[in-house]
Amino acid sequence: MVSGASLETVIARSGHQDVIPGIAGRPVTAPCSGPGCFEEILQAHRSGIIAEFLYLHPRNVDVPYATPTDGIGPSSVPTGPSSVVGPGYQPGFRIGLNWNRTDSSSIAVDYRSYQSQSSDSRTLPGGSGFLNADLVHPNTTSVATDSLAARANYDLDFDLLDVHCRATISEKDYLVYLTVGARYARVDEDFHANYTMLGSTSVLTDVGFDGVGPRLGLEVERPMDSAFHLYMRGGASLLFGEFDASYQQTNVFSGIQAVVGLEDSRMVPVTELELGLGWGGEADTLRFSAGYYMAAWFNTVTTGGFIDSVQDAELYSIGGVGDTMVFDGLVARVELRY
């Protein structure tokens, strides 16, 4: 044994070419030369492909659309819980590429897509009361807007594109990486409610957001005794963009009854956190991981908040539309490194 020599130095002097599980994520092998020599590249910075399955639940976005009452007009009294439409757990995906730059840095590009669809309906038998149309404009309220049947459809989608640089800041007991880059985000909400008695009244809304801004992230891994590791990934981004929202109410007899639009430039902060468990083989070429993911989008325009502001005439007032939208759920990832 060579006194004071590191394990890497001892292995290099031995002349063996076998790959030995690395210390803090860096493989220990005999020295090599020439293109494609990966012995000194930290595992997370090797070039590779990432595929991820998302199973997320949007929160703080449910929309109450109809309430049973004992009659018609302002003197009527609710007789039961309101009907609510909102997305549940729905699948999505993420794909990404990683390019090695140095032994402790890399560049990555990720694309993430999520789509959710939800619907709900309610019908009252004749003589048991009416359904109040909760989403119609208050200045158009009449007998024609109350109904015996109501239905609502709500779709919520987003697309994210991240480009970032990753650098190692520690590789001792914990592997710690800092990521700095930019994000583009698109969010789209489509909503349709229909109320039916003798005729029908419909409420249509569309809320969209496009924004871009800087993103800062921190990734931490804790190697375990075997090939498993615990991980934490956190990030924060500031998206500068514009919300474009529209509201339209129509009636089969009266035609278009109300039209409202909103265009608002905003800064949308987004925070993300993911915790989970991962596994990698001896050479760490193929990796699997699974965990719990949560993200909060602040200062957004949700469908429910937008409709409330239309009804209260508070679109641009202080304290008007400014909601927090949350996504949480499970993620499963596979990485192929080369």
d(CA 289, CA 291): 7
**In this structure, what CATH number is given to the domain that contains residue 268?**
2.40.128.90
**Mean pLDDT of the region 7-23:** 37
| 3-state SS, one letter per residue, for 75-136 | CCCECCCCEEECCCCEEEEEEEEEEEEECCEEEEEEEEEEEEEEEEEEECCCCCCEEEECCC
Pair 255, 190 in one domain: yes
The angle at the Cα of 157, spanning 155 to 163, to the nearest 5 degrees, equals: 175
Pair 213, 130 in one domain: yes
pTM: 0.83
Write out pLDDT tens, residues 150-167: 999 999 999 999 999 999
Q: What radius of gyration, in Å, describes the C-alpha atoms of the chain?
A: 27
Cα pseudo-dihedral 171, 175, 176, 178, rounded to 10: 90
Side-chain-facing half-sphere of 316: CA atoms under 13 Å? 7
The strand pair at 255-280 and 228-251 is best described as: antiparallel
The residue type at 284: D
Pair 15, 85 in one domain: no
Tally the domains of the chain.
2
Write out pLDDT tens, residues 192-249: 999 997 778 999 999 999 999 999 999 999 988 778 999 999 999 999 999 999 999 9
Pair 36, 85 in one domain: no
Pair 182, 302 in one domain: yes
Task: Give percent of the chain above pLDDT 90.
Answer: 60
Pair 8, 157 in one domain: no
Domain extent for 302 = 46-337
Pair 31, 53 in one domain: no
